[in-house]
Amino acid sequence: MKTLSFPPVRLTFGGFLFALAAAAGIFYPWLVPNDPLAADLSLRLMPPNPAYPLGTDQLGRCVFSRILAGTRISLSGAVAASVLSLVLGAAMGVCAALIRGWVRAFFTGLIDMGLALPGLILALVVSGLLGGGFQSLVIGLALANWPWWARLIRGLVSTARQKDYVLAGRTAGLKKTRLLTHYLLPQIQGPVLAAAVLRTGRIILAFSSLTYLGLGPAPPAPEWGRMLQEAGIYMTRAPWLMLAPGLAITLVVGALHLMGQGLDREAP
Amino acid sequence: MLKAVLKKAGYTAFVLWGISLGTFALFALAPGDPAEVILQSRHESPDPQQIQALRQELGLNDPWAVRYCSWISAILSGDLGTSWQTGRPVSDTIWERIPATLELAGAAFLVMVLISCTCGGCAAFFRHRIPDHLIQAATIIITAMPAFWLGILLMYSFSLKFSLLPTTGRGTTAHLILPALTLAAGIAMLQASVLRTSLLRIMALDHIRFAAAKGLGRPMIFFRHILPAALVPMVILWGISLGQLAGGAVIVESVFAWPGIGRLTVDAVLARDIPTAQALILVLSFIFVVVSTLVDAVHRKLDPLLGHTL
């Protein structure tokens, strides 16, 4: 029983951080102090200084500008993969929960097959096969994550349909589509929203892991995982290079985790 | 009982068959002509006749059903194909690499259980006090960190800065410490928070208060009544962590140049070595399906609420 209602600290703080990151992703062309792609070998591996707040990388590019520009790639990729996997998984999960007989057996089997493989390996192989660009990364991550969504939504819908008022709606002779949209989906939207926010954080981690391994947008593009991979090479000469991109990923993912936990607590 | 086991085994076999079909389709639908890729990897500039000849040799001109049947029958007889990259049988390479990954995963599993039990136990016993808050803050930070970044940072501080441990490669126990820690940290912190919740839930139950009221010592209460019940949800988490460890091994093995299956998968994918990647997916999913079925069975045995059916 709640006696005191605290302001949702996690939700507010996480939301604020994520809003900052999203703003950086949208407005970075006006925010960057230098061109994120402009290379100048005479300025390579500089430590942080007023003109280059986080120093320069091995090609003399401004790390701070590249971090800001990288926000757009990571966030858009992760959100796209998250939405795609949610739509795919929701369709499968609803079918597996509501339709009886062979259809249910088919979808249940499909979900179990999808769950059989660790998602990161599936994402790696699929996006590698598709050529390894930004789009193939999104498709690979979506394919790797839908079984998880399908299992969650199948469980939520199975519980939701046992409520008495759903039975009442069925007895009243409502159409199945109306039952789904007005009786079942409103029940599960709270937990699904919380899970979606948390899942997007996991997908950002997977996204940067795959770009760290060498997949993803082609080299000049400023991508956090790729930046860390390059920073690892210059670890002895320029150790500060490996701090900023990792911190950026951690902050964005941490913000999403806090938001997800906050939403989870707010959900009835 | 026997009937239930057979039914479960039949379903597992069906899932595995589906996975083989999915794997085959995935690689058959992938863009790019395999024959061209092979010839290019041999550093030749292929002309159309060479490509056609190789396609014929590989059976790429046959209908899909024929290709699937010949592929699956070869696998069932133990032939996982030949690597396009090295020209060696894929099964040899996999067998060579498996011990390294098992070593890493085993060490990471131990570290994971150790961290999750210590942190989860501390957080539960010092609930709402400083150790609990510290552990919760650490959980938020470590689970939000990409594993490869944690690995790079550990490598920099322990190997380069203080030269306490070797940077990369495999060999002594010292080589194992950083990769195992990197692989285990994120998963362990999540498990610690589950253990914390589980311990707190059990400690609030009536029979624990009764045990204390009848004068049982605190260690006795903890080890007899609290711990066994609190560990039930952990069993399933430890079971499914195998999949997470394998997924994480792909990253960690690349960071620390660890010669295992994960590194092999990355190399095969980046070099578009389809037979190797295909075989790895199949072998790995086979292991996971079998293990998760076993974990599920153990969990049902341990948790009386789930019933004894398989």
Inter-chain CB proximity B156 and A242 less than 8 Å: yes
In the predicted structure, residue A73 carries a pLDDT above the cut 70: yes
Across the interface, whether the CB atoms of B30 and A232 are under 8 A apart is answered no
**DSSP letters along B97-152, please?**
HHHHHHHHHHHHHHHHHHHHHHHHHHHHHTTTSHHHHHHHHHHHHHHHS-HHHHHH
Interface pTM, i.e. ipTM: 0.87
- The pLDDT, as a whole number, for residue B310 is 39
CA B112 to the chain's CA centroid: 13
> Which among B18, B147, B156 has the least Cβ separation from residue A239?
B156
Select from A126, A236, A254 the Cβ nearest to the Cβ of B160. Answer: A236
Per residue in A233-243, pLDDT (tens digit) is 888 888 888 88
- pLDDT of A266 reads 63
Q: Which residues of B233-271 are buried (b: 16+ CB within 10 A; e: fewer)?
A: bbebbbbbbbbbbbbbbbbbbbbbebbbbbbbbbebbeb
CA separation for the pair B99, B83 (Å, rounded): 20
CB contacts of A126 in chain B (<8 Å) are: 26
Q: Alpha carbon of A79 to those of A22, A132, A158, A201, A261: distances in Å?
A: 11, 18, 27, 9, 18
**E strand segments, chain A:** none
A109 touches chain B (CB under 8 A): yes
Per-residue pLDDT of chain B (310 residues; tens, 9 = 90+): 788 888 888 888 888 888 888 888 887 777 777 777 777 766 666 677 777 777 777 777 777 888 888 888 888 887 888 887 777 888 888 888 888 888 999 999 999 999 999 999 899 888 888 988 999 889 989 999 999 999 999 988 888 778 777 777 777 777 888 899 999 998 999 899 899 988 988 888 888 888 888 888 888 888 888 888 888 888 888 887 877 888 888 899 988 888 888 889 998 888 888 888 888 888 888 888 888 888 878 877 777 665 444 3
CB atoms within 10 A of CB B217: 11
- For residue A177, the distance in angstroms to the closest alpha carbon of chain B comes to 31
Does the pTM surpass 0.80? The reply is yes
Q: Is the pLDDT of residue A138 over 80?
A: yes
Q: What are phi and psi of B47, to 5 degrees?
A: -100, 160
Q: Is A45 on the interface with B (CB under 8 A)?
A: no
Considering only the beta carbons, identify the residue of A129, A212, A250 that sits closest to B30.
A129
